[in-house]
Amino acid sequence: MECQAADARARRVMDKLRIQCRDNVSYASGKKREGHLRRKYGITSAQFEEMTARQGGRCAICRGFPTPGRWSSDYRLHVDHDHSTGAIRGLLCYRCNAAIGFVRDDPKIARNVVEYLEKYS
C-alpha cells in the first residue's frame, strides 16, 4: 500500500519522527494485532471479538467500557492471562490490567490494597 500524498491524512506515531499514511497504519495495526493475539495467547481476532461480546464490551473487573485516553491501548480491552500457566482469565481495560500487574498477580497484595483503601476511605 502506498500513501496517496493528496488524499492521505498523515499522523505522527509514538516516536514523533515518522509520519505514516493513516490507511497503512490501520492495515499494519490489524495485521500486527492478529499476529500478536495468535503468538502470545493462541487466539484469533474472531475469538477475541467473541470474548469481548460475552463480556458485553466491558472490563471484567470494573465493568466499564474502555475509553479513549493518552495511549492507543487505552481504548480497547486487553487479554489478561496467568503468567505462570498462560491461561486466559478475561479481558480488562488498560487501568485494571495495569493494576493487576502492579500487585504482581498476587491476591494477597490485592486484598491488602482493598483493606488499605477501606481503612482510609
pLDDT at 55 over 60: yes
**Which residue ranges form the domains of the chain, and what is each CATH number?**
1-41 (no CATH), 43-121 (3.40.1800.10)
Tens digit of each residue's pLDDT (9 = 90 or more) over 65-120: 988 766 666 678 999 999 999 999 999 999 999 999 999 999 999 999 999 999 99
What pLDDT was estimated at residue 68? Answer: 75
User: pLDDT > 70: what percent of the chain?
Assistant: 71
Nearest to 81 by CA among 94, 91, 72: 91
Q: What are the grid coordinates assigned to 94, written together? A: 488498560
Alpha helices in the chain (DSSP H): 22-36, 45-54, 94-102, 107-119
- In terms of residues, how long is the chain? 121
- Count Cβ atoms below 10 Å from residue 65 Cβ, excluding itself: 12
Is residue 11 within 8 A of residue 22, CB to CB? The reply is yes
Task: Name the amino acid, one letter, at 31.
Answer: K
What's the predicted TM-score (pTM) here? 0.72
